Structure 1
Amino acid sequence: MENIFFVLAMLEMLCVNMYTFHKCSAKRVSTFAVILVMGIFTVLVFSTFGLLLGKLNILGSGAFMVLGVVYLVPLTFLYRQPVSYSVSIMCSCWIYTMLIFVLSAQVSSLFPQWSYKISLLAVQTGLYVLTIRPFSKFVTQKFLYILKNADQKTKKLLLWLGVSWCLFAILLNYTMIFDMPSFGAKITKILSLCASAANALMTYQIFYSFRRENQNALEFGIALRLDALTGLKNRTAFFEEAQALIDSHIPFTLFFIDLDNFKSINDDYGHVKGDLYLKQFSDSFSAGFSSFGTVYRISGDEFVFLHINGKHDHLICQKVGQFNMRDCDGIPFKGFSVGSASYPEDAQTLNLLVAAADKQMYEGKKAQD
């Protein structure tokens, strides 16, 4: 009679698994069709499992979890996704329900005066009530995100990690519930240790893969903010960093620099020499001013020097105006026009600051003509 409660406990595990799996998967048919097919399939599975229960003492041994692999057959036809994806989801579900089962069995053993299987079902139900919501949220929001966005190598590692954790859950359950002969207990412990070692190794490998991906993304992001010719930060980096200073209410001055007569250099000496001229200017200017702020190349012959305001601002303005560089491979330095604007004195927004500095720069350029 008590076996009924144990069967109910297994049915409860199955329902939790199917509920989570259904939420994580793209079905081919209606939900009603899924419930109907899985219901019929479950009757067949439990009938087979019932025959085994009558002949073998396998209650709580984890055999039902192993038998649950056959559920992949109908799931493959009912849901539209790769088998490896289904296995990864199924493993996460089985790990959860199997560990809940093991915990329920251990808690139930603390009350020998109660019927073991009835108390197991009651404790298991209570644990599901407490944990099913956060577990479902974790799987649908975080685990699936990893599974969908990881590279193929990481997905394969996640698959094998799930399988290994399932094996560990079965061995843990078997060790805690069954009284085994000395040799069997030693074999089970050895297998458990092997599974734990494999889990640790694959977990570290997954962390390594994610760290490498993050590092690659970081390096790619840095590359997107650098000017390929000069090695200076580019227009994107300037707008991001200047806006961050405004958001933090940090006073600064930006100098908008436009090289004079640069077009004539390209026309008279060629674009290769023009690029060399740009590179030498950026190197020389950066060498002189990088300790006072950041230099950006925002377009062809236009640069911005961003200086965070301090005690010697007037000296910085003088130094920028007096900057000169040596001849570049026979090309004399033709100078530059510069305009400046300070936050917050001249404007409160970055666009207005750039416009003010740009206007001052063009007024200076006209005055030279």
Structure 2
Amino acid sequence: MKILIAGGGIGGLGAALALAQRGHTVRVFERTTEFREIGAGIQLGPNVFKMFDRLGVRAEMLALAAMPRALVMRCAIHGHEITRVPLGEGFEARFGQPYAVIHRGDMHGVLLRACAAHPGVALTTGRAARDYSRIGDQVALYFEDGSSERGDLLIGADGLWSRIRTAMLGAEKPVVSGHIAYRAVLPMEAVPQGIPRDEVVLHAGPRLHLVHYPLRRGELMNLVAVFHSAEYSEGWDEAGDPALLQRHFARTRPEVRAMLEKIETWKYWVLCDREPKRGWQDGRAVLLGDAAHPMLQYLAQGANMALEDALCLTDMLAALPVEAALPAYEAARVLRTGRVQSMARLYGDIYHAADVRAELRDAMLTGRPAEAAWEGMAWLYDGPDWQAP
């Protein structure tokens, strides 16, 4: 088939590569003037390594990733350790795959190079999708510049503000969480003494948290500071205000504030998601990744879910005619992604708990055995588990 993909992010490129490897001809249309990813760090759970294996990019991803030895939650106000989840040999033995962290640009670059090297993938920039229509057994994709393309299938992988989703389901704004994320990276040599350099550490406080972890095999430290605020209603990759951030974190521990004070330039995002919803497919058009199921960052699974989508859709198209494959893909994915969307909101509440709720969180998590922590995530990391007909 000739397959059109709107959106050249991680999900769109993953789908392009998977489909081309099955013999399809794929054209990817990116609205910006270059293929690139905005942001810094991505956490890679065991579930996404299964997708890397399928795509043949595992070695390239690992060469660019850092391998943290633990996930750690600490109290941002008092400094005590709340819980620690080891990520070493025991974790990998339990799930059959590792846990890693990677720069978003590096992950995107691996997929971009693989697509560029595949003769079945054509990559086009500066083509912003606007709408689509069914024309017989084909689909037409219309662009903002007035041009159009025809294919046998259209995949909308154009993100949170997807134009393909709007054309399919109607205009409905994402849910604004009221959570603001400030992001930055710091050279590792500039990280204050006493800060772990080989762990994913989350400092949890009332209505805020700071998470930091290494990138590029320890060359950089990724920082994401999140706080609740009604001062922003929208914003994506905008310049942040360090003074505002420091005011929100004024009550946190000295080591937390020391990390924040090291950064002069921040980018902020207003965190948004949507309610889980069916209806990702319409004739010969289908949604994938954030276009289908945008989620908050608190389970670190957005990109991972998009790659699961890509492989699931590829499998369904290999087993069924298009008209049956698209509903089968949605049916296989909607409950899993809906659970991740819902659990991400819950984890945000847990991280940002205050007063008695924070005490309850600490009492439930402190001293928890590693095995109990691992089994608590088994529903996510043991997956995905779709079966193609």
Which TM-score band (shorter chain)? under 0.3
Compare relative contact order (CA 8 Å, sep 6+) and give the higher one, 1 or 2.
2
Structure of greater Rg: 1
**TM-score of the two chains, using structure 1 as the length reference:** 0.24
Q: Structure 1 or 2: larger helix share? A: 1
**TM-score of the two chains, using structure 2 as the length reference:** 0.23
